[in-house]
Amino acid sequence: SAVISQKPSRDICQRGTSLTIQCQVDSQVTMMFWYRQQPGQSLTLIATANQGSEATYESGFVIDKFPISRPNLTFSTLTVSNMSPEDSSIYLCSVRGNYNSPLHFGNGTRLTVT
Amino acid sequence: DQQVKQNSPSLSVQEGRISILNCDYTNSMFDYFLWYKKYPAEGPTFLISISSIKDKNEDGRFTVFLNKSAKHLSLHIVPSQPGDSAVYFCAASDLGTYKYIFGTGTRLKVLA
């Protein structure tokens, strides 16, 4: 399976600021996703990162708050904008192959907003 | 609306015994199911999957059972080892979509 490197691994940020999370994959992948895991909660899909075009966002997530870039088939960024304490979560990059194949995850970014 | 549910937030099992983790789903269109294990400070790691055309899939110490009529799947770990202590998530998707829906997780503790 692909090796997924995510950074930073953790950060503590002040409210009102923004943080950009990077995801690098060691091979070209078609499908790349960003998930969030809030404390004690399930993994929730934020958006699908589309190569060369705008990301596809899930209900409850908007581009202004979570802008995503995907310039090529191995790299993506997620920005958490104008952060509030409610944004404190683990943010996870994931990739998959064909339909009905497993998702593989990076190690996540643990974000704390004070 | 939680389409995938793990009703047991935690489970403790003695080393060497069987661990059984359960998962229920509501969407009858789901046809592919997965289990993931997550250690602290790491991303979820894929363990085992099963498609709806099967009712059992085995991989070493891990076996997943699917009961479509009950909309229920379970993960059996036997024998359980202390290194299995982690949070386990089940996930489901339906053919033609790329989205996986995750349960809330069960924290397994294997006691030495």
Per-residue pLDDT of chain B (112 residues; tens, 9 = 90+): 679 999 999 999 999 999 999 999 999 989 999 999 999 889 999 999 999 999 999 999 999 999 999 999 999 999 999 999 999 999 998 776 778 999 999 999 999 9
- The residue type of A20 is T
pLDDT surpasses 90 at A94 = yes
Cβ-based interface (< 8 Å): residues of B facing A: 2, 4, 31-32, 34, 36, 41-46, 49, 51, 89, 91, 93, 95-96, 98-100, 102-105
- Return the closest-CA partner of residue B62 out of B81, B43, B44: B81
Which of 55-94 (A) contact B at CB < 8 A? 92, 94
- The residue type of B104 is T
**What residues in B contact A47, CB-CB < 8 Å?**
none
* pLDDT for position A4: 95
* pLDDT for position B94: 79
pLDDT band at A108 (very low <50, low <70, confident <90, very high): very high
3-class SS at A44? strand
**Are the beta carbons of B85 and B108 closer than 8 angstroms?**
yes
The CA distance from A25 to A6, in Å, is 9
C-alpha R_g of chain A? 13
**What residues in B contact A41, CB-CB < 8 Å?**
104
Distance from CA of A89 to the nearest CA of B (A): 12
